Structure 1
């Protein structure tokens, strides 16, 4: 696990422009939130609440930005945008990762404008101010300037952590300290898949016309999974249910799931892989859930038969039939680590009613497209599932914008949605208070 030293960017500019009365109104909405029910409409539609979210959640907590597979070589970079923030995530020449605010120190122009690429020095396209990989200003030619101190105008940094090949960033002056505790818990689950020895097979970027919280709520339950026919071939539709809540028509599926769970536990114990569910979604600052769970059919991957989608095992794994290692991290990410590939998901807020969902498929770095895997088959299930989820989120956003909307109760199987909202409300009340 690596980190960089932060020189914090200015905070408080978003809510700082609001009146005390308006901030009190927003805090009152949080205080009156009804447990077990969805949020009031303004949480999904109001621009001031969105601004507060960007400060209190995305400006203070650890956010998943990408993986080492997306920046495999020195000079490789991705840019990550959410709310008012734009970041450069750069693989430096020393093998580490630098995370820099993508804001030129001259007039504030974007320094790098592509979503990914390779660079040596970074040159702002406006007036050619030039920065090295550490963000230091190395060139700023201007006629007549003699007392200009370039050392005072480096790009601002953000905190970063790399855990099991996943890159996390934080804009906070002092990020939540319990992230390191959580990282020690989930790293043994993910480590055997060795992201550092994978490559990007495909990346999908979807703009969903919905608030970021609706995107996360939708992801945190399977009550709607009847709407995912491709996913239902391999993901047990009883996910999130208990023996008491399984409907009659899924009784056979429930029994098949129990048998698959028993088989998976045996395999995990044989290979020394952790598999127990660890769930602290709203009981700590860095909310999370991780487990290793069986898949239906052949139990290997997200295919119609559950059969592997790539012939290459990841890392030092010795068996394809390992189900999925599934992880949820507050506030913006979820992951599936399988024996043959990895899928990372990240939600980046764009506006009160828009969210970018970025999905990245990773395969072994020596896997050859067309030989070891078929790209269409590899991506089919989750491409379709993401499009279906996009439709569901947009239905909810339109509903939240209606005068007829009022919060409705979460079902028992939606307890993780309730946990996500509890986490969100706790964090925002702390921030606004």
Structure 2
């Protein structure tokens, strides 16, 4: 684990303080009166004032997944991360850690780095060439007649950054949620065998969905709609989230096959000393998590038409391709699939109250050769198609939430993780508003 060295800048309170007491009271009432087991009232999906509160209460406070170290493997490598009104630079340091800097020049506010990713030494603003060190210190701002200009007062503002199991997380809060350390202790043993430090990016896909970020997350947290994912259904059992009591008759045979595959997977995990048990703390802690290792259909190796491996190279220290998927959900905005042959990371970044950027990144072993060890189109096919299908579902829901005829509907039993996400969300916002 590594963390940024200096205290971060925070915007907590600025947006909410600009609202009238009446606006805040109305928003607070919406959250306080939320009916458990039902979707949210329409303004919570459509209203700009609610979005502004979320940018403080959720995206200005909690730990967010930003990237993997496979995306910035060398010192000086960086990615820029944009969500809501924020833009961050996530920069790999010489000691293997990360610096997280607000991408806002201290001169007149221009973006310092404009590319989505790259490599740099010092950071040079393209407007007036103010130059910053990788730590954000202002080291050059020469101009005629500026004899008493104190560069020490104009460093780039910082945010928190840390690395766990090869995943990079950022937080804008002055004091981020402390229980994230406990959550990292939960997930690190599950992810360690896949060793992200020995992977590389095979492909990254950005999709802008015309929907509120919470609708993106709700859609992700259930498989009630998985009949709409024919490619994914080849390898992901459509009984995900069901139990003996909730399996419909037409899925009983699939459920039995799933149970047998899961028992076989757990036996292999015990043989290799790998954790597989479900840990589900989605709304019972501040840094909510769900993680488990779950079987896949067919050959049980990867997300393909027959469940067979999509790369010939095993990841990390793994010795068996038949290890299903390690699935992890982290509140508020990320989910992950770790297979024996590749990793897929997902994150949702709000753009505004009705648009969300969904970023998907495929990682393979760093010595895997495209064309020899994996075919890129086959590697990405299932989730490219699934993402486009989910985009359409989310956009249908956003249109519905904007309709005068909309009213909250009940979550089904198999959608209990959607309820857990919404319960976590409402708790966090109410805590902030209080």
Q: Give TM-score, length-normalised by structure 1.
A: 0.99
Q: Which residue pairs with 1:235 in the alignment?
A: 236
Q: Secondary structure at the residue paired with 1:204? A: strand
Question: What's the CA shift for 1:10?
Answer: 3.2
Question: What's the CA shift for 1:160?
Answer: 1.1
Q: Which residue pairs with 1:15 in the alignment?
A: 16
Q: Which residue pairs with 1:317 in the alignment?
A: 318
Q: Secondary structure at the residue paired with 2:158? A: coil
Q: Which residue pairs with 1:110 in the alignment?
A: 111
Question: What's the CA shift for 1:3?
Answer: 1.0
User: In the aligned structure 1, how far is the partner of 2:244 from the partner of 2:266?
Assistant: 19
User: In the aligned structure 1, how far is the partner of 2:152 from the partner of 2:360?
Assistant: 38
Q: Which residue pairs with 1:301 in the alignment?
A: 302
Q: Which residue pairs with 2:144 in the alignment?
A: 143
Question: What's the CA shift for 1:92?
Answer: 1.4
User: In the aligned structure 2, how far is the partner of 1:81 from the partner of 1:257?
Assistant: 39
Q: CA contact under 8 A between 2:11 and 2:60: conserved in structure 1?
A: no
Question: What's the CA shift for 1:152?
Answer: 1.1
Deviates more, 1:362-371 or 1:119-128: 119-128
Residues 152-184 of structure 1 deviation map (CA, whole Å, 9 limit, x = unaligned): 111111111100000000000000000000100
User: In the aligned structure 2, how far is the partner of 1:12 from the partner of 1:143?
Assistant: 38
Q: Which residue pairs with 1:187 in the alignment?
A: 188
Q: Secondary structure at the residue paired with 2:373? A: coil
Q: CA contact under 8 A between 2:11 and 2:56: conserved in structure 1?
A: no
Q: Which residue pairs with 1:169 in the alignment?
A: 170
User: In the aligned structure 2, how far is the partner of 1:432 from the partner of 1:402?
Assistant: 27
Taking the TM superposition and a 5 Å limit, the aligned residue runs for 1:77-226 are 77-226=78-227
Residues 278-316 of structure 1 deviation map (CA, whole Å, 9 limit, x = unaligned): 000000000110000000000000000000000000000
Question: What's the CA shift for 1:9?
Answer: 2.9
Q: Secondary structure at the residue paired with 1:2? A: coil
Q: CA contact under 8 A between 2:41 and 2:407: conserved in structure 1?
A: yes
Taking the TM superposition and a 5 Å limit, the aligned residue runs for 1:228-377 are 228-377=229-378
User: In the aligned structure 2, how far is the partner of 1:343 from the partner of 1:14?
Assistant: 35
Q: Secondary structure at the residue paired with 1:55? A: helix
Q: Give TM-score, length-normalised by structure 2.
A: 0.99
Q: Which residue pairs with 1:404 in the alignment?
A: 405
Residues 111-152 of structure 1 deviation map (CA, whole Å, 9 limit, x = unaligned): 000100111111101111001111111100111001111111
Residues 339-371 of structure 1 deviation map (CA, whole Å, 9 limit, x = unaligned): 000000000000000000000000000000000
Q: Secondary structure at the residue paired with 2:27? A: helix
Q: Secondary structure at the residue paired with 2:39? A: coil
Unaligned runs of 5+ in 1: none
What root-mean-square deviation, in Å, do the aligned CA atoms of Structure 1 and Structure 2 show? Answer: 0.6
Q: Secondary structure at the residue paired with 1:100? A: strand
Q: Which residue pairs with 2:417 in the alignment?
A: 416
Q: Which residue pairs with 1:3 in the alignment?
A: 3
**Aligned residues, how many?**
433
Q: CA contact under 8 A between 2:62 and 2:172: conserved in structure 1?
A: yes
Q: Secondary structure at the residue paired with 2:369? A: coil
Unaligned runs of 5+ in 2: none
Question: What's the CA shift for 1:16?
Answer: 1.7
Q: CA contact under 8 A between 2:8 and 2:172: conserved in structure 1?
A: no
User: In the aligned structure 2, how far is the partner of 1:7 from the partner of 1:246?
Assistant: 48
Q: CA contact under 8 A between 2:354 and 2:398: conserved in structure 1?
A: yes
Question: What's the CA shift for 1:238?
Answer: 0.2
Q: CA contact under 8 A between 2:237 and 2:296: conserved in structure 1?
A: yes
Moved over 2 A (4+): 5-11
User: In the aligned structure 2, how far is the partner of 1:91 from the partner of 1:353?
Assistant: 32
Residues 11-39 of structure 1 deviation map (CA, whole Å, 9 limit, x = unaligned): 22211210111100000000110010000
User: In the aligned structure 2, how far is the partner of 1:181 from the partner of 1:366?
Assistant: 33
Q: CA contact under 8 A between 2:104 and 2:111: conserved in structure 1?
A: yes
